[in-house]
Structure 1
């Protein structure tokens, strides 16, 4: 697991921050903010470009986030632009930056005090700033989106992938100077910039280095000089020629042909995935309608009174772990933001992973060797873990201090009501069973009425496969019954969620606890089971042996909630365009040999404007926020908040493409 190294920071005689790794200043000792405006905003003619922009989003990429000064200056300027041009088609700004050696939240806050005009933006950023691993972390500032790609820039530029080809409008080339940081200023960077930049897109940089100028010219940029900032004699800026050829897709079998209009979007579902997808789409200015087959939303797996939220860590699957940690960090940000407007019971008081047997203890110890920050994962002995849990336990385990629990049913029901006030349309008791593509829209009939939408998203859990278009998706149902029991004197002392071969939540406002959950694969029966109810209690007592507080639990009320989860064998969800299985099987039947012979490949055949979010399993609270934002970004053809390798792992056609890549036949 690649780990981050934080910046080693010092200050010179003028109190300008200095990187001890590169022995270079973060910004001009003369006036760092004025330099940012002159070199990057004026150098890229930003204000004029915003006025002339015809698309809904403008995308800036920056080499070196540093103190965040360039971002703060641009974010404030964009907010000013929105106020002065409310009718402009340009509604959103994406600021994509790369940082190998991030500063801490406290260091950022201290430096930002020099710029009180950015106080609100700085507070928003530092409140959620907690770099934990390499890859992308997205931060929200109303209509400004900040994507920080932590780690080696060369690796991250590659991980932007095919979906970013020709997407960037302008570049801020702002790494430490070429003589101090030659690893950054190289042909690989310039080639990636050219691939990622829109035709007509620009760059600006403080340096006038001949090596940089020649490197940018060599890959195809038109490079020019202008007067440098302050005492600097010259700086460089330039553009990608309008007639430049489009970059060739590196992984066409994972990327669909471009879809049509995407302004009118229907979501078929009614759970936590639907909530967060609608949330992200509405933020991006889309018209969204939700169709739910039940009398009320959150009636299936999202209908539990309490559910745990924490990342699914592993000792044997590095890519999946990165996905779940990204999801967890993003979920914390989105949930805390949503909690300011939506009432739902929640406590982020931690999650204890109990070593209930030797095998589990070894696994938890092995995961600790991944050297996570203690805010994410820390091993404890029995005494310390007992203090965290609030009740005595016999064995040690691990503790995820920022995890916790929330009420899924309250989150979804109150969240959907909140989004209705933001423009979401909701149809209840509306079951969609058949979709037809006609006249550039998906349509179906209900009660003699025809419903039409330019885009449809299937977020209906285990019922995804009721549509003929989802043929080939290897999803299966998992029945899970959660028991609800009244609290007692002992259980009321529980401070956090305890996970074993099941889980137990702290007491809720209704004076109850949830104990879960049964796990019956390929079972979609919704009837309450007394046997599963009793097994949930028994499993708690069997896993936490010699813990008297697990005894005397009153299960006589026989209260429980049955939910049917949807899952995949490889333990991660699916998100993206619905693949046309028959067409892709024909299209890529000889994929192995075509790649070996380096033959050109066409983009994957998917159903036009039909998407899915599926297979969230028991981790929906953790993954739904990021999956919703990811799919909303895909639909809007805007920057994606995740690396290409994880995106491929989430792809709806991954199961058969993996077989074809190995030269195997797919039936």
Structure 2
């Protein structure tokens, strides 16, 4: 499960992979080799220049070995030179696969050899992902560049690629076929062809017969060229005979392209709705946000503090990977806003206590070891170390997350909704909606609204909406307890989670919570709820509260909200299917046919949902917004294919049918 970092040794200024006995680049001039083999023979200079005069929105490059990132650095430099003095009108999306990623210290050492790309190397070093398996997305907004790196076996990475995100140019790198035969297999070439289009080009440093024949067999025209330096030959070419490949999960296939959206309606002014609204507004869409309450952030988004940390499990399961992608998406948004004070909170650390349960402590330690979790993500703290960080005696051991902490959700909602392209209207309960004359018409008790796209992010209490959308939401009541500084014995410097959580707040006080009370739908604060929250805090942080904070009667300060939860504890995100089509094309058909017999999914035009974020909304709402934006603008998905399927709105119906229960 854990990644195996590259083991390298140096000969002069050239790194060699110990396992493969091969160098990462030419011993003569690695940067010139990259420019000659990959940039020149894919004609990138010319093709980048042509983007200025055509309407192509994304230029996508994929490579078969990230290594030190030298190919990416050279490509990024050429991209920046192409757009010098002007904002890029297209996006560069660079995809790479790496089974044995370099440790950060090795990466720095390699980059030091190439001062010509020092500016680009500084970006990569600043954003280099932790060595955890799966996709990692890095963004350079000012250059309109996205780098997607897969850490793990390339064949597993290919399975997780968005099949609709076709590649324009391939860099077939990696170690020589004679030294790395495991990679240069027929499946590699088949997947390259599957992700290509009719104008896709490739270039590779090698002219080995297995590579030439493999590319020819899947439809590429292959040409030989003079090799770089001492190498006699290299290969390059273009797709000549494009073949059709069937979708492995047609019921989850992406929406087909539809007319470009200029306006959108978002129903819901909590974190989910605000994240979607801001993401679309950033793309130039005029957004109207409708909410039935008197004010924004009326449910859990109105709590005084919400905690944020990744979900790390010993098997790095589907939920862990989904929320890791969400964690990365959230940090990208929050870190700049926290730095400027637009959002209130603190992401300088969070402690997850293991309480006095020795079994749980062993499990967490085993998880860190098995996954080889980098200390930049999570680290184990003994009881004495936790006590030192919290300046508080008698604390149990636990996990410390250095880039995690607490956020004031309302400040996040306000920052998102303050965008100039967003208008917010409260006291607008949706009564009906329909698609009419290529636009969505929404009626509320106060008026009628029209827009090209409609997104529901209305949480769990809009039962009529959720039933119509077929989103299985279950509202779970949560009560939190508000505490003043005077009720605290020892100030809490960091957010702490245990069976519940305790956190500082933006007001100078603290919050403890939260209860999980289903199916109770009462809205009155209860003594029992406060006692539960304070008892949990006292059990785990014995010296945090004063004695009378627990015995004081009556306890009045607190808040109740309802979390929208789903049966599998993942949100429901993306384009809403045409449920009549789902019924006819899948649920009424045998579930045992060959995959190619089933048609691709059909969707209601530009109708989307972002719901079911439960208690982990801070981890998920921005990734959900990115998924919706990718579908709406026909961009590459911001997460692995299996994770996209895992949060698809049709997944519950499809799972039941595929299991023979439909």
> Normalized against structure 1, the TM-score is what?
0.90
Q: CA deviation at 1:387?
A: 2.2
**2:583 aligned to 570, 582, 585, which one?**
585
- SS across alignment from 1:504: strand
User: In the alignment, which residue of structure 2 is the partner of 1:99?
Assistant: 98
User: In the alignment, which residue of structure 1 is the partner of 2:507?
Assistant: 510
- SS across alignment from 1:588: helix
Pair 1:662-2:653 in alignment: no
- SS across alignment from 1:101: coil
User: In the alignment, which residue of structure 2 is the partner of 1:31?
Assistant: 29
Q: CA deviation at 1:584?
A: 1.1
User: In the alignment, which residue of structure 2 is the partner of 1:69?
Assistant: 70
User: In the alignment, which residue of structure 2 is the partner of 1:260?
Assistant: 258
Pair 1:355-2:355 in alignment: yes
- Counterpart-to-counterpart distance in 2, 1:104 and 1:57: 30
User: In the alignment, which residue of structure 2 is the partner of 1:552?
Assistant: 548
- Counterpart-to-counterpart distance in 2, 1:257 and 1:343: 35
Q: 5 Å matches for 1:163-312?
A: 163-165=162-164, 167-241=166-240, 244-264=242-262, 265-312=264-311
- Counterpart-to-counterpart distance in 2, 1:229 and 1:463: 64
Residues 448 and 270 of structure 1: is their aligned pair in 2 closer, same or farther, counting only changes over 3 Å? closer
Q: 5 Å matches for 1:427-446?
A: 427-445=425-443
User: Conserved in 1, the CA contact under 8 Å of 2:279 and 2:625?
Assistant: yes
Q: CA deviation at 1:432?
A: 3.1
- Counterpart-to-counterpart distance in 2, 1:350 and 1:173: 42
- SS across alignment from 1:521: coil
Pair 1:345-2:352 in alignment: no
User: In the alignment, which residue of structure 1 is the partner of 2:483?
Assistant: 485
Q: 5 Å matches for 1:73-84?
A: 73-83=74-84
User: In the alignment, which residue of structure 1 is the partner of 2:601?
Assistant: 604
Query: Bigger shift: 510-519 or 452-461?
Result: 452-461
- Counterpart-to-counterpart distance in 2, 1:123 and 1:287: 35
User: Conserved in 1, the CA contact under 8 Å of 2:453 and 2:606?
Assistant: yes
CA RMSD of aligned residues (A): 2.8
- Counterpart-to-counterpart distance in 2, 1:652 and 1:550: 47
Q: CA deviation at 1:450?
A: 4.2
Pair 1:134-2:159 in alignment: no
- Counterpart-to-counterpart distance in 2, 1:408 and 1:455: 26
- SS across alignment from 1:565: strand
Pair 1:21-2:24 in alignment: no
- Counterpart-to-counterpart distance in 1, 2:65 and 2:336: 27
Residues 369 and 10 of structure 1: is their aligned pair in 2 closer, same or farther, counting only changes over 3 Å? closer
- Counterpart-to-counterpart distance in 2, 1:382 and 1:664: 49
User: Conserved in 2, the CA contact under 8 Å of 1:389 and 1:498?
Assistant: no
User: In the alignment, which residue of structure 1 is the partner of 2:455?
Assistant: 457
User: In the alignment, which residue of structure 2 is the partner of 1:629?
Assistant: 626
User: Conserved in 2, the CA contact under 8 Å of 1:270 and 1:290?
Assistant: yes
Q: 5 Å matches for 1:353-502?
A: 353-357=353-357, 360-361=360-361, 364=364, 367-368=367-368, 370-371=370-371, 372-393=373-394, 395-417=396-418, 419-420=419-420, 423-445=421-443, 450-463=448-461, 465-467=463-465, 470-488=468-486, 491-502=489-500
- Counterpart-to-counterpart distance in 1, 2:568 and 2:527: 31
Pair 1:615-2:630 in alignment: no
User: Conserved in 2, the CA contact under 8 Å of 1:255 and 1:604?
Assistant: yes
Residues 173 and 493 of structure 1: is their aligned pair in 2 closer, same or farther, counting only changes over 3 Å? same
- Counterpart-to-counterpart distance in 1, 2:520 and 2:388: 39
Residues 363 and 34 of structure 1: is their aligned pair in 2 closer, same or farther, counting only changes over 3 Å? closer
Residues 497 and 447 of structure 1: is their aligned pair in 2 closer, same or farther, counting only changes over 3 Å? closer
Query: Bigger shift: 25-34 or 585-594?
Result: 585-594
User: Conserved in 1, the CA contact under 8 Å of 2:164 and 2:636?
Assistant: no
Residues 491 and 73 of structure 1: is their aligned pair in 2 closer, same or farther, counting only changes over 3 Å? farther
User: Conserved in 2, the CA contact under 8 Å of 1:226 and 1:237?
Assistant: yes
User: In the alignment, which residue of structure 2 is the partner of 1:49?
Assistant: 47
Residues 548 and 239 of structure 1: is their aligned pair in 2 closer, same or farther, counting only changes over 3 Å? closer
- Counterpart-to-counterpart distance in 2, 1:124 and 1:428: 42
User: Conserved in 2, the CA contact under 8 Å of 1:137 and 1:641?
Assistant: no
Q: CA deviation at 1:63?
A: 1.0
Q: CA deviation at 1:468?
A: 7.1
Residues 317 and 145 of structure 1: is their aligned pair in 2 closer, same or farther, counting only changes over 3 Å? closer
- Counterpart-to-counterpart distance in 1, 2:555 and 2:242: 70
Query: Bigger shift: 629-638 or 372-381?
Result: 372-381
Query: Bigger shift: 477-486 or 347-356?
Result: 347-356
- Counterpart-to-counterpart distance in 1, 2:35 and 2:533: 61
User: Conserved in 1, the CA contact under 8 Å of 2:487 and 2:545?
Assistant: no
**2:641 aligned to 641, 644, 647, which one?**
644
Q: CA deviation at 1:598?
A: 5.3
Is there any run of 5+ residues in structure 1 with no aligned partner, and where?
none
- Counterpart-to-counterpart distance in 1, 2:163 and 2:499: 42
User: In the alignment, which residue of structure 1 is the partner of 2:323?
Assistant: 324
Q: CA deviation at 1:203?
A: 1.0
User: Conserved in 1, the CA contact under 8 Å of 2:352 and 2:496?
Assistant: yes
Q: CA deviation at 1:607?
A: 1.6
Query: Bigger shift: 265-274 or 64-73?
Result: 265-274
- Counterpart-to-counterpart distance in 2, 1:464 and 1:244: 47
- SS across alignment from 1:200: strand
Query: Bigger shift: 559-568 or 117-126?
Result: 117-126
Q: CA deviation at 1:5?
A: 1.1
Q: CA deviation at 1:256?
A: 4.6
User: Conserved in 1, the CA contact under 8 Å of 2:132 and 2:151?
Assistant: yes
Is there any run of 5+ residues in structure 2 with no aligned partner, and where?
none
Q: CA deviation at 1:526?
A: 4.2
User: Conserved in 2, the CA contact under 8 Å of 1:349 and 1:402?
Assistant: yes
| 1:278-322 deviations in Å (ceiling 9; x for gaps) | 444345454444334445432321112211101233457722122
Residues 416 and 342 of structure 1: is their aligned pair in 2 closer, same or farther, counting only changes over 3 Å? farther
| 1:618-665 deviations in Å (ceiling 9; x for gaps) | 111122232222332222222223222222211111111111111112
- SS across alignment from 1:140: strand
Residues 496 and 85 of structure 1: is their aligned pair in 2 closer, same or farther, counting only changes over 3 Å? closer
Query: Bigger shift: 318-327 or 112-121?
Result: 112-121
- SS across alignment from 1:607: strand
**1:576 aligned to 574, 577, 595, which one?**
574
